[in-house]
A and B are shown apart, each in its own frame.
Chain A
Amino acid sequence: NAGVTQTPKFQVLKTGQSMTLQCAQDMNHNSMYWYRQDPGMGLRLIYYSASEGTTDKGEVPNGYNVSRLNKREFSLRLESAAPSQTSVYFCASSGLQGARTEAFFGQGTRLTVV
């Protein structure tokens, strides 16, 4: 059971380049998320998808776009990378596990924009 898988694990971009972070989950969860983690700031929600075909902005959406391709996959795109987007990115999904809702996280993508 793979859980939440995100790729790549590491990436270095030059300012202005674009890239897409991929995320897939195999737990049949409806909700998926993209967060960024910066020192001293916890995890901040970039975008959220409550179900296939729907996406909503989170706390820090500027500079990002997302696609909920199907129930399993939720991608994050940086159209024109900036140094301020240097961060660790986590994808997560949530759904009912027994009688309660839990969120599960991917292994993270460490992105550096130079």
Chain B
Amino acid sequence: ELKVEQNPLFLSMQEGKNYTIYCNYSTTSDRLYWYRQDPGKSLESLFVLLSNGAVKQEGRLMASLDTKARLSTLHITAAVHDLSATYFCAVASYGNQFYFGTGTSLTVIP
């Protein structure tokens, strides 16, 4: 069974600061996803990473994938309050099952 580890679980950061969330997974996969979840809401797709070295950026968020290290990162640049949410990484198996990390609860403090 594919295992996905995400850290940190909780992250409190000041506005304007940078930080990185890490996502490690246990077996080979060709697809990695990042989702955002606001309190009481569903999951919203942020990024889909399909190949080694893939980098995607949207606003203050940038995601990257290293398939050899089985590692993805979500980098936050100059955080703003609107980024406060829980972020999940998910890895898809070859059988098309999605396995999720435990999530990182991000709070951006003014």
A residues apposed to B, CB below 8 Å? 31, 33, 35, 40-45, 48, 50, 58-59, 90, 92, 94, 100-108
CB of B25 closer than 8 Å to a CB of A: no
Q: Is the CB of B96 within 8 A of A94?
A: yes
Greatest chain B CB density within 10 A among A90, A92, A105 is at A105
Q: Is the CB of A103 within 8 A of B42?
A: no
Contact of A102 among B9, B48, B95, B100 (CB under 8 A): B48
Interface string of B35-51 (1 = CB under 8 A from A): 00000011101001010
Please report the total number of B residues contacting A with Cβ < 8 Å.
24
B residues apposed to A, CB below 8 Å? 1, 4, 6, 9, 31, 33, 41-43, 45, 48, 50, 88, 90, 92, 95-103
Cα of A33 to Cα of B100 in the assembled complex, Å = 13
Q: Is the CB of A90 within 8 A of B98?
A: no
Cα of A31 to Cα of B31 in the assembled complex, Å = 16
Q: List B contacts of A33 (CB < 8 A).
A: 97-98
Question: Given A31-B96, A94-B96, A100-B50, are A105 and B43 neighbors across the interface (CB < 8 Å)?
Answer: yes
Cα of A105 to Cα of B101 in the assembled complex, Å = 16
Contact of B102 among A42, A58, A90, A103 (CB under 8 A): A42
Q: List B contacts of A59 (CB < 8 A).
A: 1
Greatest chain A CB density within 10 A among B43, B88, B92 is at B43
Contact of A45 among B42, B45, B98 (CB under 8 A): B98
Cα of A59 to Cα of B93 in the assembled complex, Å = 13
Contact of B96 among A41, A100, A101, A104 (CB under 8 A): A101
Cα of A101 to Cα of B50 in the assembled complex, Å = 10
Question: Given A59-B1, A106-B42, A108-B42, are A101 and B99 neighbors across the interface (CB < 8 Å)?
Answer: no
Q: List B contacts of A103 (CB < 8 A).
A: 33, 45, 90, 92, 98
Q: Is the CB of A43 within 8 A of B88?
A: yes
Q: Is the CB of B101 within 8 A of A42?
A: yes
Q: Is the CB of B102 within 8 A of A40?
A: yes
